[in-house]
Structures are given as C-alpha cells and as structure tokens.
Chains A and B, each alone.
Chain A
Amino acid sequence: DVKVTQSSRYLVKRTGEKVFLECVQDMDHENMFWYRQDPGLGLRLIYFSYDVKMKEKGDIPEGYSVSREKKERFSLILESASTNQTSMYLCASSDAYEQYFGPGTRLTVT
C-alpha cells in the first residue's frame, strides 16, 4: 500500500512564526504536491515538484515556499504565518497517473 505521511495532524501557531509542514512518501514517486482545502473553495494547489530539488508554483503560492532535498520528502514552509493561512493542508504523491494523499494537517494560526 502507498503510504503518504504528514508530520502533524493538528498544529497551532502564532502569527509571524515560521512553520514547517513535512510530508514523506514511501513509494519512490517522482511527483509530490501540496494543497490547501478551505470550505467553499475546494482544493487549491500551492506548490508541486516533479523531481528532487525541482519545484513549480501552483495556483496560490504567495506566502509559501517548499523544499525537496530528498525524493521521499517534500516540505511546505510558511515563512511568516498569518491568520489567513489557517486551513487544512494536504500532501500528495503520484506516479504517472494516480495521486495518493496523506491524512492532512489542520493548521490554526492565532
């Protein structure tokens, strides 16, 4: 079974903090993705990566950065957390065809 894990299920941070969300997959997938999910807005793609050290902006990259130093790990960084970044964050990895998601991190910024 494909396994995508995320470092935390719930996270509470203060405004202005630097936040790291970690995602690890065990299927040797080339492609990894970070989404956020908000009521009424659906899933929105933040960043994605097709290979180690490669990154591409998604639809809403502002306020975020990413790091992919190893194939199995894709990190999402909130440089200076703001309250409008309170959301559910979902990581996914894929082979050429099918995406597999992690359990999600519910981030609250106060």
Chain B
Amino acid sequence: KQEVTQIPAALSVPEGENLVLNCSFTDSAIYNLQWFRQDPGKGLTSLLLIQSSQREQTSGRLNASLDKSSGRSTLYIAASQPGDSATYLCAAGSYNQGGKLIFGQGTELSVKP
C-alpha cells in the first residue's frame, strides 16, 4: 500500500531564504507526483506535476524533482517571500492504488518578513 510522508511537518524561515520541502513515498510504481499549495480554509492549488518519465519540473521560483528509485520528491522554493506562507502537500499517483492520488500530511511553511 502506497504511503506518502512529508518532513518536516512545519518550517519557519526568514524572507529571502532558499528552502527545500521533502516528500517520500513507499511504492515506486507511480505514474505522477503532484505538488499542491493550500492556504488556510481554502482548497488546494496545483503547483507542479511531474510525470513518471520526467525528473523535474519548474515554474517560476519553484522547482520540483522526482527520484522514483529512491522514493523521493523535493520542492525547491527560491528566494522565499511572506506570500509563500501556506501548507504544501505532495501526492503520488500510484498504479497499485487504482490510479488514485495518495496524499502526504503536508508541510506548513511560514516565511517571516
């Protein structure tokens, strides 16, 4: 059964820092890995999607990488800003789970001015 873990659960950094959020998954038979952002009380916003044949995706200050062999994905945020404060979730689309997304618990990021 696919399990997705995100460490740390919470992170606080000063504005301007580059940071990395980690996501690990137990079953490497995934067809994609998706990163989301969630603001308090709101829905999830898709940030980046990495398909299984890809190694990374970039959007602006965000870069996500995928290493299926080690069961890891990272989300790199460059030059963090207070507006980046939110909860970041990763989710693995697993062939062995009937195509459903399996979510991690999220990392709550706080960027201090």
Q: Are A101 and B49 in contact (CB-based, < 8 A)? A: no
Chain B contacts for A101, CB-based, 8 A:
36, 43-46
**Chain A at the B interface: mostly helix, strand, loop or mixed?**
strand
Q: Are B41 and A102 in contact (CB-based, < 8 A)? A: no
Q: Chain A, interface size: which category?
A: 20 to 34
Chain B contacts for A100, CB-based, 8 A:
46
User: How far is B92's CA from A97's CA once the two chains are assembled, in angstroms?
Assistant: 11
Mark out the residues of chain B between 79 and 113 whose CB falls within 8 Å of any chain A CB in the assembled complex. 89, 91, 93, 98, 100-101, 103-106
Q: Are A104 and B42 in contact (CB-based, < 8 A)? A: yes
* B contact set with A: CB distance below 8 Å: 31-32, 34, 36, 41-46, 49, 51, 89, 91, 93, 98, 100-101, 103-106
